[in-house]
Amino acid sequence: MKSRYENAKAAFIDSVDVEDYIELDTSIKVYKQLEHSIDKPLKMILLFGKPGTGKSILLNRIQSKLKHQKEIHYFDIPPVNEKEFFHKLFKILTKQDLPPNTVVNFSALVDFCKNLKDKREIIILLDEAQMYNSEMMEKIRLLSDSRSVKFVISLHKTDNEDLIAKEHFKSRIWEVIELKNVTKEDQFTYIHKKLLKKNLFEVANSIKEKHMKLIHAFTDGNYRECNKLLFTIFEICEYYDENDPSNIDYDNIPQKIIEMAALKLGYIHV
């Protein structure tokens, strides 16, 4: 018989699938802010935050929600080179394929975009933008100046934010949206909703307020770290459920299991 914790583990596999999106007060607020920004006459919008704050799933969700209303395209993985990027962009802008070995004439592409002004507005969501080099970002900036292509640029918040410090980006990024780690209350809601979506009511009820204090302290409200910790907690629970059920309290997850998971992940040290 399959352990109840197998599905609980699966709920916390890190994913950007829109089906795994969990609505929280904070995520709804940020989603509406981004949606409102996209509707403004802006050339570039910056979405930034530490890894694990939900940038990718937010972009994935907004593309999924708006794709029937707007020309919106999500570049989830940075291309391996500039040629690949501009081939992909060329197809979106012209609705035509280029032969594989053809190099895009960038000046002609800019002129083409200028001719689209007031005819089409194309929204490009660029995820992991910190992986684009400065030359590509400068070309993206020039394309945005055409006013027919709007870019939402998502990147990791770091101590050295060289990309957004450059003067030509300071003057063109008119909207900045920062994603932050969530509060203990929102993290509690996130965990419970994740489990309830899989109809794991008993498992959800076994996570108490006292557990959330520990979980939030270990993960600092970061989604990615939360997923890692919960996956590991349920992995340990699954082991005991199958091999030594006397060590599992199905109504109240033992604190020692949370601490074992934290130890395994390096949140605490012996």
Helix, strand, or coil (residue 150): strand
Burial, 118: exposed, middle or buried (Cβ in 10 Å; 0-12, 13-18, 19+)? exposed
Quick: pLDDT tens for 119-151: 999 999 999 988 888 888 889 989 998 889 999
* Of the candidates 55, 218, 53, 211, the residue with the CA atom closest to the CA atom of residue 126: 55
Place of tokens 């070309």: 139
Helix (H) or strand (E) holding 179: strand 173-179
| Average confidence (pLDDT) over 207-223 | 94
Q: Rounded to an integer, what is the distance from CA 18 to the centroid of its chain? A: 10
Quick: pLDDT tens for 10-38: 999 887 777 778 888 888 999 999 999 99
> pTM for the full model?
0.87
- Tokens, residue 131: 């992986």
